[in-house]
Chain A
């Protein structure tokens, strides 16, 4: 006997006049292996054609469909309704700008974060397309890979109590990004540069250590491990003399 699921979905269109934020209830017959992403498609198709939510890949790779599912920020496409109770509550991610209903703008924040952490390999080496690729040992490559698996869904920032009260905090995604470039031997940023960027209340020392990012990350990134590494690196960093910053 298939369950009838009750979806309580947050509705609000900021572009519409006189629209008030409210919760709308929808009912849907559960089918085998139904996930929230498909359920939203079905609701939009049959019941609410104006329902707004983000999606692209339906495979946990694009990071678009993050939302609060039963009070927990996670990806709609990777949440099976069979894991949840009959009543499913869907809210947009907090912290980010609401575009409408379940759709939030994570892009602007992530773009800003990338600019702030200067999310590219800093090097003065001229790129030679004919030369052999530079070698990197496997452990380093793995570490970089682990940090780069981030899909920028924004769940970690939405779950972060520090980010809720300190909007300039770089958040788990930002610190993870910093870790990615700290691990990278090709990045020639000096210790002091890193120190000034990371050792602040917007950076790693703004983190109180509530660990929600680690618990909700849908990609299971080693966030706490990266933060510990950064912390200890910064703890040692203050003694380091001014590096040569001619770049």
Chain B
């Protein structure tokens, strides 16, 4: 092993120890990647369950109350989950945002490239029999959308989390109200105008989640049987399903749509 001196990597000699700065840097990079990945995966799983549970309003207020009561009292799951999700939410923000370029010039450059690559398909009618395989590309722009929706989720989601934490730990049986969450409380909140905030949050969180899951799957599993095309199909499926579910949940929650009466 010769001591090749490059600007970026320390000399070969320093590689002998796990105390070397190169090793520590590498371990830190891995740790950062793990933290952003794991919190993202956890939050995605949470959103899947959360939106499914919320969608019980589609089947009427009674069904919603049964689900809420079950989650909060039968198995006291909601309270610890709010804690965990709040922590994961901010940890994910801090660790995932390390990938967002700091300078406006850099962000503009990224956006320009994303736009160029995405637009190029409009003037590219490749012959299917051609031996050169260039796929349509929109994932660079998709990442930019993930950043944008992430920022919206950060703002609206923070508000949502604070409100929910407040409710869970202060409104439990307060002033003659039944303890915990009820459909009445949710519907009154939604129809008083907060639905705008929840609709924004829902659309952003679903987009952010679906894009993130796509990316996570491709990053870690592309060489297994779960290839990129499956991950992409899964992305469309997740996005489509939860956007539709979320929309009808909000329609039912605001009372615009009466829901399905069982």
Which residues of the partner chain B approach A83 to less than 8 Å between Cβ atoms?
Answer: 124-127, 130
Say yes or no: B218 contacts A209, CB within 8 Å. Answer: yes
Say yes or no: B222 contacts A228, CB within 8 Å. Answer: yes
Of the four ranges (under 10, 10 to 19, 20 to 34, 35 or more), the interface on chain B belongs to: 35 or more
The reply to whether the CB of A205 lies closer than 8 angstroms to some CB of chain B is: yes
Say yes or no: B223 contacts A80, CB within 8 Å. Answer: no
| Distance in angstroms between the alpha carbons of A116 and B227 in the assembled complex | 30
| Distance in angstroms between the alpha carbons of A55 and B58 in the assembled complex | 63
Say yes or no: B29 contacts A212, CB within 8 Å. Answer: no
| Distance in angstroms between the alpha carbons of A13 and B219 in the assembled complex | 40
The reply to whether the CB of B48 lies closer than 8 angstroms to some CB of chain A is: no
Which residues of the partner chain B approach A222 to less than 8 Å between Cβ atoms?
Answer: 223
Where chain B touches its partner, the secondary structure class is: helix
The reply to whether the CB of B22 lies closer than 8 angstroms to some CB of chain A is: yes
Say yes or no: A72 contacts B124, CB within 8 Å. Answer: yes
Which residues of the partner chain A approach B123 to less than 8 Å between Cβ atoms?
Answer: 70-71, 84-85, 87
| Distance in angstroms between the alpha carbons of A203 and B119 in the assembled complex | 29
The reply to whether the CB of B85 lies closer than 8 angstroms to some CB of chain A is: no
| Distance in angstroms between the alpha carbons of A28 and B207 in the assembled complex | 45
Which residues of the partner chain B approach A214 to less than 8 Å between Cβ atoms?
Answer: 135, 228
| Distance in angstroms between the alpha carbons of A231 and B120 in the assembled complex | 30
Closest 5 CB pairs of A and B: A71-B120, A225-B223, A224-B222, A165-B106, A199-B26
Which residues of the partner chain B approach A82 to less than 8 Å between Cβ atoms?
Answer: 127
Known contacts A211-B218, A216-B134, A232-B220; decide if A200 and B25 are in contact (CB<8 Å). yes
List the count of A-B residue pairs having beta carbons below 8 Å apart: 168
A-B contact pairs, 14 of them (CB 8 A): A60-B132, A80-B130, A83-B127, A122-B1, A161-B143, A196-B23, A197-B9, A197-B26, A199-B26, A199-B27, A208-B99, A211-B218, A220-B133, A245-B15
Say yes or no: A164 contacts B99, CB within 8 Å. Answer: no
Residue of B nearest to A91 (CB): B116
Contact with A along B222-261 (1 / 0, CB 8 A): 1110011000000000000000000000000000000000
| Distance in angstroms between the alpha carbons of A165 and B124 in the assembled complex | 27
State how many angstroms separate the Cβ of A78 from the closest Cβ of chain B. 5
Say yes or no: A231 contacts B219, CB within 8 Å. Answer: yes
The reply to whether the CB of A74 lies closer than 8 angstroms to some CB of chain B is: yes
Which residues of the partner chain B approach A235 to less than 8 Å between Cβ atoms?
Answer: 30, 34
Within 8 A of B (CB), among A201-227: 201-203, 205, 207-212, 214-216, 218, 220, 222, 224-227
Say yes or no: B126 contacts A192, CB within 8 Å. Answer: no
Say yes or no: A224 contacts B29, CB within 8 Å. Answer: no
Choice from B23, B30, B124, B228 contacting A205 with Cβ under 8 Å: B30
State how many angstroms separate the Cβ of B28 from the closest Cβ of chain A. 9
Which residues of the partner chain A approach B4 to less than 8 Å between Cβ atoms?
Answer: 115, 118
Binds A, one of B107-115, B162-170, B181-189, B198-206: B107-115
Say yes or no: A164 contacts B140, CB within 8 Å. Answer: no
Which residues of the partner chain A approach B18 to less than 8 Å between Cβ atoms?
Answer: 192, 242
The reply to whether the CB of A79 lies closer than 8 angstroms to some CB of chain B is: yes
Apart from A205-B30, A218-B134, A228-B219, what 8 extra A-B contacts exist at CB < 8 Å?
A71-B117, A71-B119, A80-B127, A87-B123, A207-B219, A212-B113, A225-B223, A242-B18
State how many angstroms separate the Cβ of B196 from the closest Cβ of chain A. 31
The reply to whether the CB of B139 lies closer than 8 angstroms to some CB of chain A is: yes
State how many angstroms separate the Cβ of A15 from the closest Cβ of chain B. 26
The reply to whether the CB of A145 lies closer than 8 angstroms to some CB of chain B is: no
Which residues of the partner chain A approach B8 to less than 8 Å between Cβ atoms?
Answer: 116, 168, 202
State how many angstroms separate the Cβ of A167 from the closest Cβ of chain B. 11
Say yes or no: B132 contacts A210, CB within 8 Å. Answer: no
Say yes or no: B224 contacts A228, CB within 8 Å. Answer: yes
Residue of B nearest to A70 (CB): B123
| Distance in angstroms between the alpha carbons of A165 and B100 in the assembled complex | 10
Residue of A nearest to B131 (CB): A78
